[in-house]
Amino acid sequence: MAIELVCPAGSLPALKTAVDAGADCVYVGLRDATNARNFTGLNFDDRALADGVAYAHARGAKVLLALNTYPRSDNWARWTAAVDTAAERGIDAVILADPGLMRYALRTHPSLRRHLSVQGSATSYEAINFYHEQFGIQRAVLPRVLSLAQVEQVIAHTPVEIELFGFGGLCVMVEGRCALSAYATGESPNCNGACSPGKYVRWEQTAAGMEARVNGILIDRFAADERAGYPTLCKGRFAVGSETYYAIEEPTSLNTLELLPEIARMGVAAIKIEGRQRSPAYVGQVTRVWRQAIDRVAHEGDRFRPDAAWLRELARVSEGQSQTLGAYHRPWK
């Protein structure tokens, strides 16, 4: 089975760009707290969703709807309405984290395909099989904390398709359980869909440099020659003792292009590109590279080597100044 390429779209132009560049699937979110990229100016209203589904389906691509935050008792109806919208609009699968919402989708729209979100934090085949048996989950997106040997063990012991992140920003938190942004702002990203929501972010040019704050907390200070990133607590620079540095996590991008032959060999169903908050230009560049790479590895197998031009192209759109294989490659294990 060929690896599917699953690409991000935070807008209708990004969706069209991804489809035109060769994405097999595009994942999107609604313009509210039901998705984990609930930033101002992003995501889809009902008309854009309908247009996006029609555009993708006409070109043989699938649309996946991320409903991957956690509802509460006082707003449950918004999340169930989002599942209903997915079924009505012909969405190919919903990406879910909350077990209650999985149960609702299974009972109300049994023919609607269900994927387990990375926000569900399922890192073992036992957990994935539980979601499969109880809620009919057909694909699981693994958190970015497993080595490839561990991924292979999961695949060997579950009937559920496995989707891996292949490129994009990393999260140092246990996905689905982050508390740092909630600590700083009082709003949980797991329930409200945004880490460092825009309304709490402030930029100020000072004599010391461009300062970025979240709810008044100084997260970073950038010199004139530095590329300023969006301020999140886990990727800020902090004074610790006599040093100021990235004390929790240094901004870097996951790039697993060189691992593609091994990923294909072990039976990974899909490669996911992170970045619904990124521009259509980013989506187009990354999708084109990964489309070529996946097609080539299908023909070359273990003889595959990434083109230098591909690596340069990806480096230009990476978060931070470096790239990493993340937890997938642990030579000491």
What's residue 281's pLDDT?
Answer: 96
What does the angle CA 136 – CA 25 – CA 294 come to, to the nearest 5 degrees?
Answer: 110
What's residue 309's pLDDT?
Answer: 96
Does this model's pTM top 0.85? My answer is yes
What's residue 175's pLDDT?
Answer: 77
Which positions ≥6 away from 213 have C-beta within 8 Å? 201, 202, 203, 204, 219, 231
CATH superfamily to which 4-170+252-328 belongs: Aldolase class I (3.20.20.70)
Instruction: Work out the end-to-end distance of the chain between its first and last CA atoms, rounded to an integer number of angstroms.
Output: 29
> Domain residue spans in the chain?
4-170+252-328, 180-245
Round to whole Å and give the CA distance between 179 and 181.
6
Average pLDDT of the segment spanning 122-151:
96
Instruction: List the single range of 27-36, 79-88, 124-133, 241-250 with lowest mean pLDDT.
Output: 241-250
What's residue 268's pLDDT?
Answer: 98
What's residue 330's pLDDT?
Answer: 65
What's residue 332's pLDDT?
Answer: 45
Query: Would you list the DSSP string of 230-243?
Result: PP-GGG--EEETTE
Round to whole Å and give the CA distance between 143 and 140.
9
What's residue 195's pLDDT?
Answer: 87
> Which residue shows structure tokens 């996006």?
52
Instruction: List the single range of 85-99, 186-200, 311-325 with lowest mean pLDDT.
Output: 311-325
> Which residue shows structure tokens 């313009």?
31
Confidence of residue 243 (pLDDT cuts 50, 70, 90): very high
Statement: residue 174 has pLDDT above 80: no
Going through 93-236 in order, the beta strands assigned E by DSSP cover: 93-96, 114-116, 139-141, 161-169, 201-206, 209-214, 217-222
Looking at every residue in the chain, the average pLDDT score rounds to: 93
Statement: residue 136 has pLDDT above 50: yes
What's residue 333's pLDDT?
Answer: 46
pLDDT tens-digit readout, 216-239: 999 999 998 887 778 888 889 998
